[in-house]
Amino acid sequence: MGDLAKSLGVQKGSLYAHISSKQDLLYETMREGADAFHAALDAIPDELPATEKIRLALRGHLRVVAEQLDVATVFVREWRYLEGDRRAEIVAERRRYEDRVRALFREGRELGELRTDLDDATAALLSLSAANWAYTWLQPGRDTDALADRFYGLLVDGMRGYATPG
C-alpha cells in the first residue's frame, strides 16, 4: 500500500477514497485478469480448425500477458493471498480456463488434426505451463504474436524435423 501510494504520488491514507481494502483491490485485479484471459479465448472463431484455434489461443494468452503485464502477474502469482469465497471463485476461473484450453487439444485429436494417441491432458499442461511462466520473461515491446507462433510450431510439429513442412 505504501509503495502503491508512492507511485501514485499520494499519501497512503488517500488510497481509501478509491478502494475499500487491500484485499478488495487484489480481488478486483484478479477479476480483471480472469476476464481478460477468458475474453481472449472467447474471441476465437468457432469454425476454425482446432489447430488454428490452438495457435490463436497461444497468441491470445501471450497478448494478455504482454498488454496487461501487471494484471497477469497478479493473476498468475498472487491468487493464494485471496481469502474465502473470492479465492474459491478465482481458483474456479483458472480451472475453467485450463479446461477450455484442454478442450481445444481434445478437439484436435478427435478431428484428426493431431495424433490420435495424443494425451490431451499432458499436451494442455505443457502448453499452459509454458504460457503461465511467460509473465517472468515476456517483453511487451517485442512481437508477441510471432513468439506465440514459434511456440505453436514447436509444440505441434516438434523439434525433431521430420514433421510436416510449413
Partner DNA sequence: AGATAACCCTAACGATCGTTCGTAATGAGC
Partner DNA sequence: GCTCATTACGAACGATCGTTAGGGTTATCT
Which parts of this chain interact with a second copy (CB under 8 A)? Answer: 51, 77, 105, 108, 113-119, 122-123, 125-126, 129-134, 136-137, 147, 150-151, 154-164
Stretch that binds DNA, among 7-15, 89-97, 104-112, 122-130 (CB under 7 A): 7-15
Residue 15 as a binder of DNA (CB under 7 A): the answer is yes
Q: CA 72, CA 107: separation in Å to the nearest integer? A: 27
Which amino acid is located at 30 in the chain?
Answer: M
Question: 138 with 144: CB under 8 angstroms?
Answer: yes
Cβ nearer to DNA, comparing 22 with 115:
22
Q: CA-to-CA distance for 109 and 116, rounded, in angstroms? A: 5
Q: Which is nearer to DNA, 23 or 73 (CB)?
A: 23
**Closer CB to DNA, residue 1 or residue 163?**
1
**Dist. CA 91–CA 34, nearest whole Å:** 10
